[in-house]
Amino acid sequence: MAFMRLPRWAIALPVALSIAGLSGCGSGAPATSTGSTPAPAGGGAGEVTVFAAASLTGTFTELGKIFEAAHPGTTVRFNFGSSATLAQQIAQGAPADVFAAASPATMKIVTDASPAGTPATFVRNKLQIAVPADNPAKVDELKDLTDSEVKVALCAEQVPCGAAAVKALDAAGLKVTPVTLEQDVKATLTKVELGEVDAALVYRTDVIASAGKVRGISFPEADQAINDYPIAALAKAPAGDLAQRFVDLVLSRQGKDVLTKAGFEAP
């Protein structure tokens, strides 16, 4: 009997979904659904699947609730994780309606692989040094991270927060040897929150979202490594028009208010 050879995503994706239900890649966090209400007749019921950078977890979860309230019966499901990992999943055929990336480079992986709406930059983000609240290593500035006695966590270079860290360190003419390289910004921040490292380079928004678990230290070279965040509805989105409606919410005044309140900057 002949067997049909399946593409790699068709083999790998069901396994990943059965384990985590669209889990946040790289961070191990489960995918979230903001819930739903019974749909009235003609209420536009459906499901929108949004793949989004880990740094958007809090803001997009809030926007998902707003979207569901405006579209009774609709459920918004999220897959949060490393933009690079999410982009590869979509490029290999993972079913997604919307992609919100932490860099144009990771968005390009998706648009090069399949048709999508024109990506729109909706926010910008910059790095801070995150240290434990009591700052035991007495880190005050970027050059302190070069001290061999200071344990530093960075994002891996292939993901947007890691690429931004490389740019910032290059701009400062510094070389840092991290004790760990993480696959997304949330995992990098967690190393600081748990006291496993003395410092990390993460987004300012993630420091704010930590609600006092870590302290953020600004540094001037971060201005030379700002990340633009693009969003696009995918042309083959199963949710169709609902996908574009979610993008429209993110780009709206209401969406910008949620995002800037969390520390993102307007593009």
Q: What is the pLDDT of residues 146-169, one digit of tens each?
A: 999 999 999 999 999 999 999 999
Contact 43, 67 (CB under 8 A): no
What pLDDT shows up at residue 236?
80
Spell 58-91 as b/e; 16+ CB within 10 A means b: bbbbbbbebbbeebebbbbbbbbbbbbbbbbbbe
Helix and strand element counts for the chain (H, E): 9, 11
| Mean pLDDT lowest among 34-48, 141-155, 161-175, 224-238 | 34-48
Share of the chain above pLDDT 90, in %: 79
Q: What tens digit of pLDDT does each residue of 9-44 get?
A: 443 433 333 333 333 333 333 344 443 333 222 234
| Mean pLDDT lowest among 12-21, 42-51, 61-70, 231-240 | 12-21
Which pTM does this prediction carry? 0.80
**Domains, the chain, ordered by start:** 12-37+46-124+228-261 (3.40.190.10), 127-224 (3.40.190.120)
Strand partners, 32: 78
